[in-house]
């Protein structure tokens, strides 16, 4: 459904990562007005390089979306451009593989902040803007351990992603009559440079391509996908 988000105002948090870049590229190709957050300067530079001639079509905002103040400033900056957010893709997140006795309070809080708090703060900021227009699309990223029965050595990560899944389902119930859909992706391992570096010996044949996931996100952002809400979109290959 290319072009079906033409002119929509889209915010992709974490649009500088391996998955985020693919989603940003897809939305730009579909004619959306795309905003993306970045945290380190190198991330913004990498996204500009990846976008090439289309780099000027992406509005980049430095923001720590785990911070309530920063999220408020981010959405205010987008508003100031006359572009209230209509589509929100919460792609920012983190991963931790550690046994419970090796997971200290700081690590636990970091997982909760990066995965759950970031999604909550951005959803909370986006919802009043979407309600005003009685239209909106929100896409979060859960995980297989967070959606299923957890996983050994992933207690903090799985718990934070379970919070994302429950947030998604709760908001879908709260917002369905406002014309706002809220869904969550539940991917297996994504084929990104970071994952290849972290797992150099892994069999990548069943890993998901970021571009294929971006296709799903692009569909969930359309008018036609309005009847899909509160859903865990299970993504796997093989």
Closest CA to 235 of 184, 196, 193, 198: 184
Can you read off the two tokens belonging to residue 72?
């408020």
Three-class SS state of 156: helix
Closest CA to 234 of 209, 216, 211: 216
Per-residue three-class SS string for 54-90: HHHHEEEEECCCCCHHHHHHHHHHHHHCCCCCCEEEE
Tokens 């290849």 belong to 196
H-type alpha helices, the chain: 18-29, 41-51, 68-80, 105-111, 118-133, 144-147, 155-175, 193-198, 210-220
Catalytic residue list: 157
How many other C-beta atoms are found inside a 10 Å radius of the C-beta of residue 65?
A: 24
Residues in the chain: 238
């Amino acid at each position: 459904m290319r072009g079906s988000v033409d002119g929509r105002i889209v915010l992709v948090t974490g649009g500088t990562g391996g998955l985020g870049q693919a989603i940003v590229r897809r939305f730009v190709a579909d004619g959306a007005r795309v905003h993306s957050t970045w945290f380190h300067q190198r991330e913004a530079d990498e996204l500009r390089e990846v976008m090439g001639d289309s780099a000027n079509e992406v509005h980049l905002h430095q923001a720590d979306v785990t911070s309530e103040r920063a999220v408020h400033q981010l959405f205010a900056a987008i508003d100031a451009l006359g572009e209230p957010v209509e589509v929100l893709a919460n792609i920012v997140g983190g991963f931790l593989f550690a046994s419970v006795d090796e997971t200290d309070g700081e690590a636990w809080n970091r997982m909760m902040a990066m995965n759950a708090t970031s999604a909550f703060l951005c959803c909370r900021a986006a919802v009043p803007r979407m309600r005003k227009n009685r239209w909106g699309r929100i896409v979060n990223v859960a995980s297989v351990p967070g959606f299923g029965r957890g996983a050994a050595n992933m207690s903090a990560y799985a718990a934070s992603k379970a919070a994302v899944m429950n947030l998604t389902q709760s908001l879908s119930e709260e917002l369905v009559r406002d014309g706002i859909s809220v869904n969550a992706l539940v991917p297996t391992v994504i084929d990104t440079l970071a994952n290849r570096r972290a797992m150099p010996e892994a069999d990548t044949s069943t890993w998901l391509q970021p571009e294929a996931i971006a296709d799903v996100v692009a569909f969930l952002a359309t008018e036609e996908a309005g009847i899909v809400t509160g859903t865990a979109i299970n993504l796997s290959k093989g």
